[in-house]
């Protein structure tokens, strides 16, 4: 197959599938529709709460999938065995600050059952390598929600205040953080810890060394130790552009432990998101642990390296005087040479191409 036959999106879908299959992730296919109830119960897990719904022939309210993970978890066998799955699916959702539903192609993987250090490290490495396949200049931001939740657990603040502080952390909003902490009566030491954690961001190993020196609660230290093990594993895999950044925050009702987000140069938004979501499993009445990520492929055509999918190399022009058999002979000859071509009437507008084969009267003249 010629490389230009594939669009950037198609090429990446194939390359990522090859990568995931290579590590034993089994392809998994889910249907386009799902019962709306599943999303009603887990609204906060979704990137956007709006869901495209319709009534099925039996009157049941169905939805076009806004998410793949929930369906995979719903159908996962609860037999204590580990499952490694990968998928490429279209989801339907309203992106942030967009006006209306969009069809978004995403690919990703899930590891469900038992997630030990090896399994988590493997997923993190696959996230980094996924980004690397898309663009050499990438950054994978990694955090562990346990670090921040350990710090916040020292304060007698409610869920709403906790969510507000996390949102400010997510914005790297230091001025807002200090004002909010003062308003909530959060202690000086917690305010300082939060400020220092938000400010500490950079290459994983180095930044972990710096954060280690901070005075943090024991639960936060345990989470940092987990990140250190991940860092060591990634180093054994050959490293990568992985940063520690505590501004990666996900909803703690669903996520626990490792969380990460990926960026590539040239695309103005994150294109990979994932993390450890044992809490989601628990909420859905399943046992065990889970980790996974999704890569959003809808923006990949914006990459500078993206080329038009298919460029015609030759143009075969004909008119009323041309014998159709002559066209067939000419095109078969081009095909034998491995040249792509487009046959069209002479008066139609010509696309740009490398070679023109004219089978018209003008040629005879």
Partner 1 sequence: MKRMINIALPKGRLGEKAYALFAHAGYDCPELLEENRKLTFENESAGVRYFWVKPSDVAIYVERGAADIGVAGKDILLEYAPDVYELLDLGIGKCRMCVAGPKDFSDSHTGILRVATKFPAIARRHYAAQSREIDVIRLNGSIELAPILGLSDVIVDIVETGKTLAENGLAVLEEIEPISARLIANKAHYKFKGEEIEALRKMLERAVNA
231: its two tokens: 């860092």
End-to-end, the C-alpha distance of the chain in Å comes to 39
State in angstroms the smallest separation of the CB of 162 from partner 1.
16
Binder among 247, 250, 256, 322 for partner 1 (CB under 8 A)? 247
Q: Which residues, 260 to 279, sit near partner 1 by CB under 8 A?
A: 263, 265, 267-270
From the list 56-64, 170-178, 314-322, 346-354, the region that binds partner 1 by CB under 8 A is 170-178
Residue 254 in contact with partner 1, rule: CB under 8 A:
no
Q: How many Å apart are CA 20 and CA 333, to the nearest integer? A: 40
CA-CA distance, 119 to 84, in Å (whole number)?
A: 10
Q: How far is the CB of 196 from partner 1 (least distance, A)?
A: 16
Q: Please report whether residue 171 would count as binding partner 1 according to CB under 8 A.
A: yes
Q: Which of 96, 238, 349, 352 binds partner 1 (CB under 8 A)?
A: 96
Asked if residue 56 binds partner 1 (CB under 8 A), the reply is: no
Helices 188-199 and 145-152 cross at an angle (nearest 10°) of 160
Nearer to partner 1, 71 or 143 (CB): 143
The residue within the footprint of partner 1, chosen from 8, 83, 243, 256 (CB under 8 A), is 243
For partner 1, the closer of residues 35 and 251 by Cβ is 251
In the bound state with partner 1, the residue whose beta carbon lies nearer, of 269 and 336, is 269
CA dist 4 to 1, 14, 305, Å? 8, 14, 12
In the bound complex, what is the minimum distance in angstroms from residue 172's beta carbon to partner 1? 4
What is the gyration radius of the CA atoms in the chain, in angstroms?
26
Q: Which residue, 90 or 173, has its beta carbon nearer to partner 1?
A: 173
Q: Which residues of 63-98 are buried (b: 16+ CB within 10 A; e: fewer)?
A: bbbbbbbbbbbeebeeeeeebbbbbbbebbbbbeee
To which residue do tokens 């989470």 refer?
Answer: 223
Q: Which of 227, 221, 247, 50 is nearest to 166 (CA)?
A: 247
Piece of the chain touching partner 1 by CB under 8 A; list 4-12, 65-73, 168-176, 352-360: 168-176
Question: What 3-state class would DSSP assign to 177?
Answer: helix
User: Measured from the CB atom, is 39 or 138 closer to partner 1?
Assistant: 138
DSSP 225-293: HHHHHHHHHHHHTT--SEEEETT----TTT--SEEEEEEETT-SS--EEEEE-HHHHHHTT--SEEEEE
139 DSSP β-pair partners: 263
Residues 97-156 within binding reach of partner 1 (CB under 8 A)? 97, 137, 139, 141
Q: Which stretch binds partner 1 (CB under 8 A): 11-19, 75-83, 169-177, 326-334?
A: 169-177
Residue number, 93 or 286, with CB nearest to partner 1: 93
Instruction: Decide whether 171 or 209 has the Cβ nearer to partner 1.
Output: 171
Nearest approach, Cβ of residue 304 and partner 1 (Å): 13
The residue ranges that bind partner 1 (CB under 8 A) are 96-97, 137, 139, 141, 171-173, 175-176, 243, 247, 263, 265, 267-270
């Amino acid at each position: 197959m010629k490389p230009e036959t594939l669009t950037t999106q198609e090429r990446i879908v194939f390359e990522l599938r090859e990568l995931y299959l290579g590590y034993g992730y089994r392809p998994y296919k889910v249907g386009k529709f799902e019962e709306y109830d599943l999303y009603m119960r887990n609204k906060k897990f979704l990137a956007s709460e709006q869901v495209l719904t319709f009534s099925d022939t039996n009157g049941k309210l169905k939805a076009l999938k806004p998410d793949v993970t929930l369906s995979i978890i719903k159908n996962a066998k609860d037999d204590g065995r580990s499952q490694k799955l990968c998928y490429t699916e279209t989801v339907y959702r309203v992106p942030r600050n967009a006006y209306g539903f969009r069809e978004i192609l995403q690919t990703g993987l899930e590891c469900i059952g038992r997630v030990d250090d090896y399994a988590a490290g493997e997923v993190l490495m696959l996230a980094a390598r996924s980004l690397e396949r898309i663009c050499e200049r990438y950054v994978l931001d990694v955090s562990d929600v346990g670090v921040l939740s350990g710090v916040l657990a020292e304060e007698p603040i409610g869920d709403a205040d906790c969510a507000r502080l996390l949102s400010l952390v997510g914005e790297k909003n230091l001025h807002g953080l200090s004002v909010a902490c003062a308003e909530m009566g959060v202690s000086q030491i917690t305010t300082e810890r939060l400020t220092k954690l938000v400010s500490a961001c950079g290459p994983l190993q180095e930044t972990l060394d710096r954060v280690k020196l901070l005075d943090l609660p024991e639960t936060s230290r345990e989470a940092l130790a987990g990140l250190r093990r991940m860092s060591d594993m990634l180093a054994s895999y050959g490293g990568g552009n992985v940063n520690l950044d505590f501004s990666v925050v996900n909803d703690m009702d669903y996520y626990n432990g490792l969380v990460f987000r990926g960026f590539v140069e040239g695309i103005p938004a994150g294109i990979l998101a994932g993390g450890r979501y044992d809490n989601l499993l628990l909420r859905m009445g399943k046992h065990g642990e889970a980790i996974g990520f999704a890569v959003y492929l809808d923006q990949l055509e914006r990459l500078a390296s993206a080329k038009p999918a298919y460029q015609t190399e030759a143009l075969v022009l004909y008119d009323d005087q041309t014998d159709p058999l002559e066209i067939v002979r000419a095109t078969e000859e081009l095909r034998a040479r491995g040249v792509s071509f487009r046959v069209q009437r002479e008066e139609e507008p010509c696309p740009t191409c490398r070679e023109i084969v004219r089978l018209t009267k003008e040629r005879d003249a």
